[in-house]
Structure 1
Amino acid sequence: MSLLESIILGIIQGLTEFLPVSSSGHLELGKVILGIETTEDVSFTVVVHGATVLSTIAIFWRDILGLFRGLFSSDWNESKRYIAMLLFSSLPVIFIGLFFKEEVESLFNGNVLLVGSMLLLTGCLLSFTYYTPKEGGPVTFKSALIIGISQAIAVMPGISRSGSTIATALLLGVDKAKAARFSFLMVLIPIIGANCKDILDGGMAESTVGAVPLIAGFIAAFISGVLACRWMISIVTRGKLIYFAIYCFIVGTIAIGAHFLA
């Protein structure tokens, strides 16, 4: 992987991790377009996902600090309840990761038709949010589990994690700002867990990607992730997800067309 390719893929990861257009789908399309083969080398994926975790922490550090302060309190409080809901929402994707990891990884093989089809599905889901009520309520344990199921389904390349979780939350009647906050914080647990597992399995030790491309990809993913996260919070609160639905429809249609024309 060249320096330029690592920067391009890092920017794609950072932007699309938070914007509702599927980071996994765009990374697959990017690898196909650039002719990059990284199926057996998870080091770059670990690094850029780590960068987006830091992007989330950089934006929500006050929220995270507040949650940790409440965690060490002796009484049952709102912080402990929120952390419990975050953990509860992670159960579905943890289940998929533990028991269906190989099946999921087999989907990341440059299948442009699958990515295009799932982008159309993401577009449909985002379109539904146009009809959600303007006023919403808080996240509950029930809605946290349903949102978590959406996150588990979003392991499919082409289904946006942020798009599916935020859209599901809005359709369940969750307040827009609360939906965005919960969506971005809930991803920390599975990504950190998956990265730690990949590192323990020796993924970084067997890296065939040079140190410079890894560092460049990390920086690109972090900077673009911070910008995209801030942008996405504003987009959700203003109810502008319909524009990303149109984008997903366009890119999905192009991907499907390219598959059949190839």
Structure 2
Amino acid sequence: MTESAWFYLKALVLGLVEGFTEFIPVSSTAHLLILGDWINFSSGDNKVFEVVIQFGSILAVMWIFRGRLWQLARGVLSGEREELMFARNLAIAFLPAAVIGALAIGFIKSLFHHPGIFVATLVVGGLIMLWVERKPHFAKHADDTVASQHATAYSLEQITWKQALVVGFAQCVAMVPGTSRSGATIIGGMLAGIQRKTATEFSFFLAMPTMLAATVYDFYKHGAVLSDQQLLGIVIGFVAAFVSAMIVVRAVLNFVARHTYRPFAWYRIGLGAVVLAWLYFR
């Protein structure tokens, strides 16, 4: 097999991994960078591949929720209060990451080159998830589908602007590789008083403008210097991420409606230990 063929095969594998991990709180970026290092996949110093293919996963969510997006668009255009509030909350949650991301993108990208950071973020993130799930004001049983009496938002329309702002700042924390954007925003939403399944859905919707902005920005900054091989690799990874995300999204929503995030927390801690051992012995 030629060197180019190996490159495209690796891009395909990474795209599939991206789609499977984007919407569960285990950090798709950590998986892409760690696996990419293990299989010797070189996407370039700018890491455009790892950023852009994530939007393939987001497109899958947009397709799955196309009916809700159409409802939102019609509601905003017709001035429906609930839809206007939902759109406002998405904008509020999006702004912190947009501002901080634009100001600190160089520093954030530099962290991609330090695998040791993943150990800390994976383990600490897992411990935080375990702590949040142990707090008594969340659902007491794994199969609860309704939040406890202290949670105030049981649907997307009930989320307040203050809760949306908390989710927005939680998304800023997720800029550190290994944190997990979905994990940070979901846990942030739960801490703000949003029921688990609703927090997950809000995280999905917030991913749409966030990853679109990141994709457009990265192509604007680095698109001109990408080689034909890198561009085709991005296309392959993008399509693979879209297909695998189509499979995963509904399964994630069904899972979180009946279970806690503890399994993902223990997975993060275990993966962090594996990465630490790999860094030590390599």
TM-score normalised to the size of structure 2? 0.86
Give the one of 101, 104, 129 matched to 1:97: 101
Residue matched to 1:205: 224
Letter in 2 for 1:22: S
Structure 1 equivalent of residue 43 of structure 2: 38
Amino acid at match of 1:198: D
Partner of 2:270: 250
Give the gaps of 5 or more residues in structure 1: none
Match of 1:86 in 2: 90
CA distance, structure 2, for counterparts of residue 78 and residue 197 of structure 1: 31
* Range moving further from structure 2, 229-238 or 79-88: 229-238
Q: Give the C-alpha shift of residue 229 in structure 1.
A: 1.5
SS in 2 for 1:98: helix
Task: Indicate whether 1:71 and 2:71 are aligned.
Answer: no
2:188 matches 1:168? yes
Q: Which residue of 1 aligns with 2:167?
A: 147
Mapping of residues 117-132 of structure 1, within 5 Å: 117-131=120-134, 132=137
The 8 Å contact of residues 48 and 218 in structure 1, kept in 2 or not, is answered as yes
* Corresponding residue of 2:142: none
8 Å CA contact 2:185–2:203 kept in 1: the answer is yes
Structure 2 counterpart of 1:108, which letter? F
User: Following TM superposition, by how much is the alpha carbon of 1:209 offset from its aligned partner in structure 2, in angstroms?
Assistant: 5.1
- Paired residues of 1:41 and 1:208 also in contact (CA < 8 A): no
Matches of 1:198 and 1:18 in 2, distance apart? 21
Instruction: Kindly provide the amino acid, as one letter, of the partner of residue 77 in structure 1.
Output: R
Quote the offset at 1:55 in angstroms.
1.1
The answer to whether 1:184 aligns with 2:204 is: yes
| 1:159 partner amino acid | T
Between the aligned partners of 2:47 and 2:174, the Cα distance in structure 1 is 19
Inter-partner Cα distance in structure 1 for 2:248 and 2:74:
27
Q: Which runs of 5+ in 2 are unaligned?
A: 140-146, 154-158
Q: 1:137 to 1:226 in 2, by over 3 A?
A: farther
- Of all paired residues, the percent bearing the same amino acid is 27
The CA deviation at 1:90 is: 1.1
Contact 1:55 1:222 in 2 (8 A): yes
Aligned partners of 1:59 and 1:124: how far apart in 2?
A: 31
Q: Is structure 2 residue 22 aligned with structure 1 residue 4?
A: no
2:144 corresponds to: none
Distance 2:249 2:125 in 1: 19
Number of aligned pairs?
A: 259
Q: Which amino acid aligns with 2:112?
A: F
How many angstroms does 1:37 deviate by? 2.3
Contact 2:152–2:193 at 8 Å: present in 1 too? yes
CA contact (8 A) 1:130 1:239 kept: no
Q: 8 Å contact 1:12–1:23 — kept in the other structure?
A: yes
